[in-house]
Amino acid sequence: MDIYETKSIIKVLGNSKEILDDVVVTEYPLTIYLNKNEFVTILCTPKSLKELTIGFLIGEGIIENLSDISNIDLHLDRNISCVTLSDNINIENTLSKKDIRTTGCGRGSTFNLSINELSKHKLELSDDLVIKTSDIISNMNTFVKKSDLFRLTGGVHSVMLSDNNKELFFEDDIGRHNAVDKIIGNALIQKISLNSNILFTSGRISSEIIMKIAKAGLPVIISKSAPTSVAIELAEHLNITLIGFARGKRMNIYTHPQRVLVE
Amino acid sequence: MDIYETKSIIKVLGNSKEILDDVVVTEYPLTIYLNKNEFVTILCTPKSLKELTIGFLIGEGIIENLSDISNIDLHLDRNISCVTLSDNINIENTLSKKDIRTTGCGRGSTFNLSINELSKHKLELSDDLVIKTSDIISNMNTFVKKSDLFRLTGGVHSVMLSDNNKELFFEDDIGRHNAVDKIIGNALIQKISLNSNILFTSGRISSEIIMKIAKAGLPVIISKSAPTSVAIELAEHLNITLIGFARGKRMNIYTHPQRVLVE
């Protein structure tokens, strides 16, 4: 399955035009089945789809770790990802969940949660994580140049997981939520604990992105773009360090600056 | 309800920092009820919410025009929009629809549709609409500078409806799909026929955006950003002119160039 396709287009510059072949990002519908019940169709970039399936189910609160899944079968030609859940997962609760349309391709559950439930996802503030702004600037600089698919098509968001020194994984996708799900799924498969790692993203940060990373245990998110009001309030409550507008030598620290050393 | 809020942040530039108040875009959850049944929660910018409700229901295929709604009550303090559908609308069909997570905040129904159903939304190619590239360049130039909320917060997408000469309406929202829904809802309320108008958008164009504008009867969409493969295929099939990467004097015409005069 190709992640980009060639299309014939007319390129216009001022009053001149030219017919040529150009590259566009592939959009691929992936339907996830849970124990043979159709659950959801995600429009995505056809890459890292097992990671996407796992990360999505974590973000939705369907599973909490990899042992909650007994099997995943991907059938790329039929656009389906068939998940068999472990016996301890109650599929009835799952399938009756309320539908929340978020600002991106994922269903946030933020507004379903009581303060008690929300507090279940609160991260520890006792971590010893200290991130230097000089490292953020240099990592962000590497990150924004990294997506070949963006350079080719201009149609994807990127996400990178870093351990504060080096890149662990990088993903891109037509949906900014999908890219986050792929990173979280990948970390689970590779048994990498997320609680001292940092997520870099090109996309805007709304409440459901914060809920996704809280459920995954990720304490720091750094974006090139803007956060929303509720994202900031949730990050504050859940002990997540939220940094936005990280561009060149600038950045805005919105919450929990104690993890950031300005130097 | 304010569309932006003030937050205290730490602004970093190189190795210096400053605590100051900054403005962030408000995220607001709006739950739509259909005949007293909870239908969906949309995360959005709290402006033009009646328009959003109507445009969303059009895009979902729940209603086809304003007469399919007998009443809408907005309760901003309770975050709800209560819609009473006309007697001719079958609510049972509606509430059992398949869930598709799209790349933005809207549920596309593209992949639920057979070719027959899809063809129902095919636009007429016999329209006499001719758009000059010089007008596109000048309208796009006005459009990209227009959002005060983007200038303040950096956190919204914008959409503008134009009749090929002048702007009809402008909307912005944290979700690019919501902004399109608001424009379509507004046109319905104001009884403006969309079949010779043009939509300008700052956001990427994926399949569900094309389905939304096809259902609304809009023949032309012009974006600053990239389209996906499926968006191009749908636009081709549905007789929609799709233009992307409209920046400065450049643009790419992906489908149905017969409506565009390069000059």
pLDDT in tens, chain A (263 residues): 899 999 999 999 999 999 999 999 999 999 999 999 888 889 999 999 999 999 999 998 899 999 999 999 999 999 999 999 999 888 776 665 545 555 543 333 344 556 677 888 999 887 789 999 999 999 999 999 999 999 999 999 999 999 988 999 999 999 999 999 999 999 999 999 999 999 999 999 999 999 999 999 999 999 999 999 999 999 999 999 999 999 999 999 999 999 999 99
User: Which tokens belong to A124?
Assistant: 């520890």
pLDDT of residue B90: 80
Q: Measured between CA atoms, how close is B44 to chain A, in angstroms?
A: 7
Instruction: Say if B150 is an interface residue toward chain A (CB within 8 Å).
Output: no
Q: With cut-offs at 50, 70 and 90, classify the pLDDT of residue B239.
A: very high
Q: What are phi and psi of A107, to 5 degrees?
A: -105, 110
Pairwise CB contact (< 8 Å): A42 & B101: yes
For B153-186, write each residue's pLDDT tens digit: 999 999 999 998 899 999 999 999 999 999 999 9
Instruction: Say if B110 is an interface residue toward chain A (CB within 8 Å).
Output: yes
pLDDT of residue A113: 57
User: Which tokens belong to A100?
Assistant: 């929340």
Quick one: average pLDDT of B149-154?
Answer: 95
C-alpha dist (Å) from residue B97 to A62, A65, A200, B90, B231 = 21, 30, 35, 12, 22
H-assigned helices in chain B? 49-59, 91-95, 115-119, 133-144, 148-153, 176-189, 207-216, 229-238
Best to test chain A binding among B2, B53, B103 (most A CBs inside 10 Å): B103
User: Dihedral of the CA atoms B6, B10, B11, B12 (nearest 10)?
Assistant: -170
- Residue in B closest to A20 by C-alpha: B252
Q: Is B46 exposed, middle or buried (0-12, 13-18, 19+ CB in 10 A)?
A: middle
**pTM exceeds 0.90:** yes
Encoded amino acid at B51, one letter: E
Three-class SS of residue B189?
Answer: helix
**Cα distance between residue B42 and residue B215, in whole Å:** 20
Region label for B218, one of left (φ > 0), alpha (ψ between -120 and 50) or beta (otherwise): beta
The answer to whether residues B199 and B183 touch, using CB atoms and an 8 Å cutoff, is yes
Of B7, B38, B228, the CB nearest to A232: B7
The answer to whether residues A135 and A222 touch, using CB atoms and an 8 Å cutoff, is no
pLDDT of residue A89: 87
C-alpha dist (Å) from residue B206 to A18, A156, B37, B181 = 24, 11, 29, 15
Q: With cut-offs at 50, 70 and 90, classify the pLDDT of residue B74.
A: very high
Catalytic residue among A34, A57, A89, A105: A105
Least confident of A48-52, B104-108, B135-139: B104-108
Pairwise CB contact (< 8 Å): B43 & A14: no
For B49-60, write each residue's pLDDT tens digit: 999 999 999 998
**Cα distance between residue A133 and residue A246, in whole Å:** 10
